[in-house]
Amino acid sequence: MSPSLTVRRIAADQGAVLRELRTASLREAPYAFGATLEDALSADAASFDATAAERAVSFSVSTFILYTEGHPAGLIEAHFDATAARRAFVCELWVAPAVRHLRGGELLVDTAGAWLANEGATEIYAWVADANRNAMRFYEALGFGPAGEHRRIERAPEQVESLLVRHVPSTSQVFQQ
């Protein structure tokens, strides 16, 4: 039987959970992220506590956590950038290998997207490394398409990442916390 998957916004006291999920994701899929495992390991616990506290209540940045049978098993960040256009992004997406292909990634993207839409986003963007074919196919399956922007990956300048975008349907449901 498939485990039941749920997604909830991070709570202010979940700094340790955030640290656990970020280090697990950077260890398991270092090719997928701008940060490195060393960055996460060298950050002190207090900085994760501060990040969790902010993301639990902020109107411009949040983290959502995937649970399988009550255990943290994935995460995604949602934020608005600081430009005048205030573009909405999802990033830091990761689902633990043991629960992949069960729609946890889709649930994370849809929940984060609904929160961004509720805060005013009409388009949701994601940067994806061109070499990360799984993530490209995943986002395409969820209705994302090329936004036409490309840039070098800071961590690995010989590689390129592309911007994907999904339009928020006008009938999109209001985010329920």
Ligand X SMILES: CC(C)(COP(=O)(O)OP(=O)(O)OC[C@H]1O[C@@H](n2cnc3c(N)ncnc32)[C@H](O)[C@@H]1OP(=O)(O)O)[C@@H](O)C(=O)NCCC(=O)NCCS
Mask for 113-152, x = binds ligand X (CB under 6 A): ---------------x---x-xx-xx--x-----------
- Residue 32 interacts with ligand X (CB under 6 A)? yes
Q: Candidates 7-15, 34-42, 92-100, 111-119 — which segment interacts with ligand X by CB under 6 A?
A: 92-100
Residue with tokens 């975008």: 165
- Residue 53 interacts with ligand X (CB under 6 A)? no
Residue 94 makes CB contacts below 8 A (sequence gap 6+) with: 21, 24, 25, 28, 29, 32, 74, 75, 76
Q: Candidates 39-47, 48-56, 100-108, 166-174 — which segment interacts with ligand X by CB under 6 A?
A: 100-108
Q: Candidates 52-60, 91-99, 112-120, 150-158 — which segment interacts with ligand X by CB under 6 A?
A: 91-99
- Residue 43 interacts with ligand X (CB under 6 A)? no
Compare residues 86 and 137 and give the one whose CB is closer to ligand X: 137
Shortest gap between Cβ of 169 and ligand X (angstroms)? Answer: 18
- Using CB under 6 A, count the residues that bind ligand X: 19
Q: Where are the beta strands (DSSP E) in 35-175?
A: 61-68, 71-80, 88-95, 123-129, 145-153, 156-167
Residue 41 makes CB contacts below 8 A (sequence gap 6+) with: 23
Shortest gap between Cβ of 132 and ligand X (angstroms)? Answer: 5
- Residue 164 interacts with ligand X (CB under 6 A)? no
Sign, Cα dihedral of 26, 30, 34, 35:
positive
CB-based contact 33:90 (threshold 8 Å):
no
Which of 94, 55, 57, 72 is CA-nearest to residue 6? 72
Residues that bind ligand X (CB under 6 A): 29, 32, 93-95, 100-106, 128, 132, 134-135, 137-138, 141
